[in-house]
Amino acid sequence: MYEGPVQDLIDELGRLPGIGPKSAQRIAFHLLGAEPADVTRLQEVLQRVKEGVTFCDICGNVSEQATCRICRDARRDAALVCVVEEPKDVLAVERTREYRGRYHVLGGALDPLSGVGPDQLRIRELLGRIGGQYGGAEVTEVIIATDPNTEGEATATYLVRMLRDFPGLTVTRLASGLPMGGDLEFADELTLGRALSGRRSV
């Protein structure tokens, strides 16, 4: 244990994902020795992401404008919507280069332990999207790509129930083969690409 603010900094850093106690300590002492200007710049960037980042009105992905780059891109198939939990999952699916449709970011998964129910997720927005017209097309297929873990599976089951009654809508789920208990973002491109192309109707 160090005294005062140094320990506070180590504790805060240690709370970040992927950073263990040793790394937290190393980063803290690095910052302690860094030029004041460098630290100020980091501080400003942190401030800006929290204040300045907006989310796409349509899909909920992070975006600098009211609608994101993918939703504005006319070459992407608007009839196809891939539902993911987080913006980082959009990146994971994009990395496969297999997918030419649009996205819908839920903002998490059903997680009663953390007080997350359907109303805390962008499910109503998803249902609204399916009825309406975006980019001149109607949604004909929803691919559910929530994480292959307890909460992601429960969310998928719930979505399947909600989407079941839309006439003419195909609902598919990523093919199995993704490491169970995992996170979509940790699946390698090849596995995720295969899961995407082998998706099955549910």
Partner 1 sequence: MHVRHLQVTDFRSWPTAELTFGRGPNVLVGANGQGKTNLVEAVGYLANLGSHRVSGDAPLVRHGASSAIVRATVVNEGRQLTLDVEITPGRTNRARVNRAPVKRPRDILGILRTVFFGPEDLSLVRGDPGERRRFLDELLASRSPRFAGVRADYDRVLRQRSALLKTAGGLRRGQRGRSDDAALGTLEVWDNHLARFGGQLLAGRLDLVAELSPLVTAAYHELAPGGVATVRYRDTAGPDGGARAGQGPSDPESLAEALLAELRRVRDQELDRGVCLVGPHRDELELTIGDLPARGYASHGESWSFALALRLAAYDLLRAEGSEPVLVLDDVFAELDQRRRSRLAAVAGRAEQVLVTAAVEEDVPAELTGGRFVVRDGTVRRGD
Residues 70-89 touching Zn ion, rule: CB under 5 A, are 71
Taking the CA atoms of the chain, what radius of gyration do you get in angstroms? 20
Half-sphere exposure (Cβ direction) of 117: Cα atoms closer than 13 Å: 2
Report if residue 68 touches Zn ion, rule: CB under 5 A.
yes
Crossing angle for the helix pair 21-33 and 4-14, nearest 10 degrees? 130
Half-sphere exposure (Cβ direction) of 54: Cα atoms closer than 13 Å: 10
Report if residue 181 touches partner 1, rule: CB under 8 A.
yes
Listing DSSP states for 90-113 in one string gives HHHHHHTT---EEEEE-SS--BGG
| 71 interface partner picked from partner 1, Zn ion, none, CB below 5 to 8 A per type | Zn ion
Task: Out of 141, 153, 185, 189, point to the residue binding partner 1 (CB under 8 A).
Answer: 153
CB distance 187 to 179 below 8 Å: yes
Report if residue 157 touches partner 1, rule: CB under 8 A.
yes
Task: Out of 40, 47, 54, 150, point to the residue binding partner 1 (CB under 8 A).
Answer: 150
- Interface segment toward partner 1; rule CB under 8 A; list 50-58, 66-74, 133-141, 157-165: 157-165
Report if residue 33 touches partner 1, rule: CB under 8 A.
no
Report if residue 154 touches partner 1, rule: CB under 8 A.
yes
Report if residue 151 touches partner 1, rule: CB under 8 A.
yes
Task: Report d(CA 162, CA 174) in Å as an integer.
Answer: 18
Please give the single-letter amino acid code of residue 61: N
Question: Under the rule (CB under 5 A), what is the footprint of Zn ion?
Answer: 56, 58-59, 61, 68, 71
Question: Under the rule (CB under 8 A), what is the footprint of partner 1?
Answer: 20-21, 110-113, 115, 117-119, 150-151, 153-154, 157-158, 161, 179-181
